[in-house]
Each structure stands twice: as structure tokens, then as C-alpha cells.
């Protein structure tokens, strides 16, 4: 039996889904030795991919990159289907290396899976693509990719939200684009399913999205409490904990609690730096720069024109580009140009960051 079809491999995957990372790693390492000894290229790739996913969730970014690179090299060298390795490379590089290369892997994997009608890895690569588009400031494109993931997973009758964790990202994309009711319904349904199935591992990410919804509705206290509680349950997942603390910093800043915001951002930056999560570390450093106590809020927005400021405020409140154009009696292209300049001037990459950086009326 190929090593990637053994009960041990299946058990390791389920341990990964439940974030029992030491258990998953201990099961996978002997399987890797066996796969390499037998010359089973496809099995070796699958075990390397699983190890990469274990290590990236555990915050061992350098090890995750090594496993992902080995899986990608073996895949390309042996002429295997690139979809699985591309998905893992996108997942790992987006956290540990560069988002540009991660996006290229996700697009390649999705294109290949679509041509070969591989719905499993089409779904996975689209999830990676949607996540990366969301965190780099393209919520509309992210929503399109993640909605297709939802359709594919529904058609494949995948009910367990721990297998492919797209739900929180889809909710964030919906919130960014102003579809608050849809986001609320998705979060409620996913939380209920996770609880029914005993999949507590997915709940902190859902709480992070719920906190974004709370903050968008102006309830910064509830949002901050959700994020604080979620972070307290993520000590075993340092990257997820760092992301939650960074979200807490943004929320505290929107609630005008700059000292608390800086403390949370500093903790996030330390986690990302320690675990070599370079793209996220850069995001945390940008946040700290905006929270420099020597600057006033007015100083953080010194170069925005009146038109750019108004577009930024409306976008931060959840309005779509078309809504902004209608409200300001300008074209959608003008809105897009104004927001592009805002992102560049403020060093932002997404509407989520914009929502945290721009406080209406200041």
C-alpha cells in the first residue's frame, strides 16, 4: 500500500485538522522515511506537503519552507500533477516568504486543477488564492475565489469546516465589501457546524472575523474582548495568535485606545519575527509605525487630499466602490484611482487595513 494511503497517514491528517501538531508530526516523519526509501515520488510529495502544513501551523516557518520546496521540486522533477504542491507552496510562502510568489503558485495550481477537472485541488488552490488576495488588498477578487470554494465544497458534500478553513476568510471578504448580513449568517452557520462536530480548532479564526464585523458596526469593546479571548486560546499556534493580536491592535486603534493598540501590535511583531513569518512581520511593523506615540492621528494622514480622505472614510465604513462613486458623484474609476493613492501613501494593502487605519471624521 502506498504510504499516502495508509491508516497512519489518514490519522496524521486528522490530527492536523484538529491542530494536534506533535501527534501529526510524529506520525508523518516515519512515513517520509518509508516513502523515500521505496522511491514512491507521489507518496513522498504527499508526506512532505503534510509536514509543511504541520510546521507552518506550528510556527516553524523555515522547516515548512524546506518541506514545501522539496515537495515542489520533486513534483516538477517527476512530472506529477502540480496542483497539490502548488497549494502547499502558496499556503507556506504566503506566511513565511513572499506573497507574490505565493500568488503565482496558487494561480498555477488552480489553472492546472481546472484543466484537469480536479475539484479537490481546485478548491484548495482557490482557497489559497482567495486568502492571499484578501490580505493583499483585493477583497472583490478574493470574494470571487472564495465563493467558488464554497460552491465546490458544497457540491463535494464537505461539511467539516476544519478540513479547508475558508469560512473566516470568506466572511472577512463579505464584511470588507459591505455584505454584513451574509457574513453574519456564514459565521453563525459555521460556528454551529464546528460546535456540532467538535471542531473547536476553527473557532478562533471565526471569532476574529466576528470581531471585524463587530468593529465595522462600531462595537469596539465587544470586538476587542472577542480578539483577546481568541488570542488566549492560540498559544500553540503562534502565527494565528499573531494575526489575532494584530487584529486586536487595529480594533483598539479604531476605538481610540492607542496604548493598547501599540501593546498588541508589539506582541504580534515579536511573534512574527521570532517565527520568521516575514510578510506578517512587515504588516505588524507598518502598524507600529502608524502608532508611533510621537505622531498625532493628523500626522499619520499628512498627504491625503480632501477627495482621497473622503473616499478612504467611505471605504473604511464598508461602502463599495460603486456606492462611493454614487455618494460623491464621481466615476468608479476615479474612486479606484483615489483609493490606490491612499493605499500607497499609507502603506496599506487591503480594505481591512484601511478600515483599521482610517477613522471617519478625523
306 or 61, higher pLDDT: 61
Q: 109 to each of 81, 86, 94, 168, 261, how far by Cα in Å?
A: 9, 5, 14, 22, 38
The secondary structure of 62-97 as a DSSP string is: HHHHHHHHHHHHHHHHHT--HHHHHHHHHHHHHHHS
pLDDT tens, 173-205?
999 999 999 999 999 999 999 999 999 999 999
312 or 107, higher pLDDT: 107
pLDDT at 24: 97
With CA atoms as reference, report the closest residue to 247 among 178, 311, 229, 236.
229
- The set of cell numbers assigned to 108 is 498555477
Distant-in-sequence contacts of 62-69, Cβ < 8 A, 24+ apart: 62/96, 62/276, 64/92, 64/95, 64/96, 65/92, 65/93, 65/96, 65/97, 67/92, 68/92, 68/93
Read off the DSSP letter of residue 320: -
Band (303; pLDDT cuts 50, 70, 90): low
Please give the Cα distance from 320 to 112 (Å, whole number): 32
With CA atoms as reference, report the closest residue to 165 among 19, 312, 274.
19
- The set of cell numbers assigned to 261 is 493598540
Band (301; pLDDT cuts 50, 70, 90): very low
The secondary structure of 33-54 as a DSSP string is: HHHHHHT-HHHHHHHHHHHHHH
Band (4; pLDDT cuts 50, 70, 90): confident
pLDDT at 308: 85
Band (293; pLDDT cuts 50, 70, 90): low
pLDDT over 60 at 359, yes or no: no
Please give the Cα distance from 216 to 246 (Å, whole number): 16
- The set of cell numbers assigned to 303 is 498627504
Read off the DSSP letter of residue 229: H
- Mean pLDDT on 237-260: 95
pLDDT over 90 at 347, yes or no: no
pLDDT over 70 at 9, yes or no: yes
Q: What angle do CA 130, 87, 168 make, to 5 degrees?
A: 35
pLDDT tens, 15-38?
999 999 999 999 999 999 999 999
Phi, psi (5° rounding) for residue 41? -65, -45
pLDDT tens, 41-91?
999 999 999 999 999 999 999 999 999 999 999 999 999 999 999 999 999
pLDDT over 70 at 296, yes or no: no
Please give the Cα distance from 89 to 177 (Å, whole number): 28
Please give the Cα distance from 177 to 142 (Å, whole number): 11
324 or 228, higher pLDDT: 228
Mean predicted lDDT score pLDDT of the chain: 92
Q: 157 to each of 120, 153, 160, 328, how far by Cα in Å?
A: 11, 6, 9, 44
- Mean pLDDT on 121-138: 96
- Mean pLDDT on 308-326: 85
pLDDT at 352: 73
- Helix 220-232 to helix 238-254 angle, to the nearest 10 degrees? 160
Please give the Cα distance from 40 to 200 (Å, whole number): 35
Cβ neighbours of 189 (radius 10 Å): 12
Please give the Cα distance from 360 to 226 (Å, whole number): 23
Is 0.75 surpassed by the pTM of this model?
yes
Please give the Cα distance from 128 to 133 (Å, whole number): 9
Read off the DSSP letter of residue 4: G
Amino acid at each position: 500500500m502506498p504510504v499516502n494511503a495508509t491508516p497512519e497517514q489518514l490519522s496524521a491528517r486528522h490530527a492536523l485538522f484538529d491542530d494536534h501538531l506533535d501527534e501529526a508530526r510524529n506520525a508523518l516523519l516515519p512515513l517520509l522515511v518509508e516513502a523515500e526509501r521505496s522511491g514512491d515520488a507521489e507518496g513522498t510529495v504527499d508526506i512532505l506537503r503534510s509536514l509543511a502544513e504541520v510546521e507552518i501551523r506550528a510556527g516553524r516557518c523555515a522547516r515548512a519552507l524546506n518541506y514545501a520546496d522539496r515537495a515542489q521540486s520533486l513534483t516538477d522533477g517527476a512530472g506529477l500533477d502540480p496542483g497539490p504542491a502548488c497549494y502547499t507552496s502558496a499556503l507556506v510562502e504566503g506566511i513565511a516568504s513572499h506573497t507574490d510568489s505565493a500568488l503565482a503558485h496558487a494561480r498555477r495550481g488552480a489553472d492546472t486543477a481546472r484543466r484537469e477537472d480536479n475539484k479537490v485541488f481546485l478548491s484548495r488552490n482557490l482557497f489559497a488564492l482567495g486568502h492571499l488576495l484578501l490580505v493583499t488588498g483585493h477583497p472583490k477578487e478574493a470574494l470571487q475565489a472564495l465563493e467558488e470554494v464554497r460552491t465546490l465544497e458544497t457540491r463535494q458534500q464537505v461539511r467539516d469546516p476544519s478540513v479547508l478553513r475558508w469560512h473566516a476568510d470568506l466572511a472577512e471578504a463579505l464584511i470588507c465589501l459591505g455584505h454584513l448580513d451574509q457574513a453574519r449568517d456564514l459565521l453563525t452557520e459555521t460556528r454551529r457546524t464546528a460546535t456540532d462536530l467538535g471542531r473547536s480548532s476553527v473557532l478562533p479564526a471565526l471569532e476574529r472575523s466576528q470581531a471585524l464585523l463587530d468593529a465595522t458596526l462600531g462595537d469596539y469593546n465587544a470586538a476587542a474582548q472577542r480578539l483577546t479571548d481568541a488570542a488566549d486560546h492560540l498559544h500553540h499556534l503562534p502565527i494565528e495568535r499573531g494575526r489575532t493580536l494584530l487584529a486586536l491592535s487595529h480594533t483598539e486603534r479604531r476605538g481610540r485606545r492607542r496604548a493598547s493598540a501599540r501593546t498588541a501590535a508589539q506582541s504580534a511583531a515579536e511573534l512574527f519575527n521570532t517565527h520568521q513569518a516575514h510578510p506578517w512581520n512587515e504588516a505588524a511593523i507598518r502598524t507600529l509605525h502608524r502608532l508611533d506615540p510621537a505622531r498625532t492621528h493628523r500626522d499619520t494622514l499628512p498627504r491625503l487630499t480632501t477627495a482621497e480622505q473622503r473616499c478612504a472614510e467611505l471605504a473604511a465604513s464598508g461602502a463599495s466602490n460603486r456606492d462611493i462613486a454614487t455618494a460623491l458623484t464621481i466615476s468608479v474609476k476615479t474612486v479606484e484611482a483615489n483609493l490606490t493613492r491612499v493605499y500607497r501613501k499609507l502603506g496599506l494593502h487591503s480594505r481591512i487595513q484601511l478600515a483599521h487605519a482610517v477613522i471617519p471624521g478625523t
